[in-house]
Amino acid sequence: MWFKNARLYAITEALATDAEQIEQALAAFKFTPCTSQEALKLGFCFAMHPGTGEYCHQVGDLMVFSIKKQEKLLPAPVVNEELAPKVEAMEQEKGRPLSRKEKRALKEELIQTLLPRAFSKSTVTTAYYDRSTSMLIVDTASASTAEDFLALLRKAFGSLPAMPLLDNHQLNQQMHFWLQGKELPAGIALGSSAVLKAPDEEGAQAKFINHLLSADEVQSHLQDKLVTQLQLEQDEKISFTVRDDGSLTGIKFHDLLCNDNEELGWDDAIGRLDADFILMSGQFKQTLTSLLANLKPEA
């Protein structure tokens, strides 16, 4: 359960904590597979430990949720290949080219006939809410996936006032300083990867991977480009890339941290997974506290 990406939100109203009420609320929106005529389904599934039958797994101050998404795969080339002869036949029947609206209607009708034969793809996304910080962290780099998660939680809880934790405008400014080695958050150092992009229409990019970021050839790009991605690391325990959209990607928890629970073994798998999750969330709390202290609102 070590997260690889993170979309970060501040929850401005505390979530309910009664386990029975939460289970009932989430069960009302539990995942069920697509029917033959449905293209997509989304719902809560058992979190962390399927055998426990919990839609919300609570451990310490953490509330863990998982949602499952199933969608039918209908590749555009397949649909277009099936659609072309139908359009041609109808145009011959009507003696004129079909309008855009008519083609769209014909395509939608075709998709409904193809859905029962389409393959299904399922993905599970996990998030946790930390009551001690009022933060919700979703294990995804995708803004749309995170928004789907928030929307489903809102349906279950009735409301969920959430704000992005990292401000985009401040990130653009701070990453410019960070790449210069200035004003870095406490305990955080530069990694070895960065992406810079010109703010004009052409948007020329400069990408550096496994590179010394203090080198002149990197620093020279700061004169005419914005930093859009920057790898950082903290205390040899975690490394990650900050993106200017407020997400963290490429998260890697180093052995120095991951090995802390090795003495627990795996005889109690649930207990071990809980211990690892607490370890991970604790490191996240420390890292985000450092980042947020460096991103204070402007006066």
Q: What confidence category does residue 299 fall into, taking pLDDT thresholds of 50, 70 and 90?
A: very low
In which element (H, E) is residue 150 found? helix 143-157
Q: Return the pLDDT at 296.
A: 58
Other CB atoms within a 10 A radius of the CB of residue 222 amount to 15
Q: Return the pLDDT at 134.
A: 93
Q: Return the pLDDT at 298.
A: 45
The tokens for 51 are 């055998």
pLDDT for 125 beyond 90? yes
Q: HSE of 33 in the Cβ direction (CA atoms, 13 Å)?
A: 7
Dihedral sign (CA 234, 238, 239, 241): negative
Q: What confidence category does residue 135 fall into, taking pLDDT thresholds of 50, 70 and 90?
A: very high
Question: For the chain, which residues make up each domain, given as ranges?
Answer: 7-74+118-164, 76-116, 168-293
pLDDT in tens, 111-124: 888 888 888 899 99
This model's pTM is above 0.75: yes
Are the CB atoms for 237 and 219 separated by under 8 Å?
no
pLDDT for 184 beyond 50? yes
Q: Return the pLDDT at 79.
A: 86
Are the CB atoms for 288 and 161 separated by under 8 Å?
no
Could you tell me where the beta strands, DSSP code E, fall in the chain?
A: 7-11, 40-45, 56-59, 62-73, 119-130, 135-138, 162-164, 188-197, 205-208, 226-234, 238-243, 248-253
Rounded to whole angstroms, how far apart are CA atoms 148 and 275?
28
Task: Report which DSSP code applies to 298.
Answer: P
Q: Torsion angle of alpha carbons 68, 70, 242, 282, nearest 10°?
A: 10
Are the CB atoms for 126 and 140 separated by under 8 Å?
no
- Across 267-282, average pLDDT: 92
Q: Which residue has the tokens 């310490």?
A: 60
Are the CB atoms for 281 and 62 separated by under 8 Å?
yes
pLDDT in tens, 6-38: 999 999 988 887 899 999 999 999 999 998 888
Instruction: Give the distance between the most distant pair of CA atoms in the chain.
Output: 78
Phi, psi of 198 (to 5 degrees): -70, 140
> Shortest CA distance to 188 belongs to which of 253, 236, 226, 229?
236
pLDDT in tens, 195-244: 999 988 888 999 999 999 999 999 999 999 999 999 999 988 999 999 99
Q: What confidence category does residue 139 fall into, taking pLDDT thresholds of 50, 70 and 90?
A: very high
The size of the chain, in residues, is 299
Q: Return the pLDDT at 120.
A: 86
> Could you report how far apart the first and last alpha carbons of the chain are, in Å?
39
Q: Return the pLDDT at 216.
A: 94
As a whole-number percent, the residues of the chain with pLDDT over 90 amount to 61
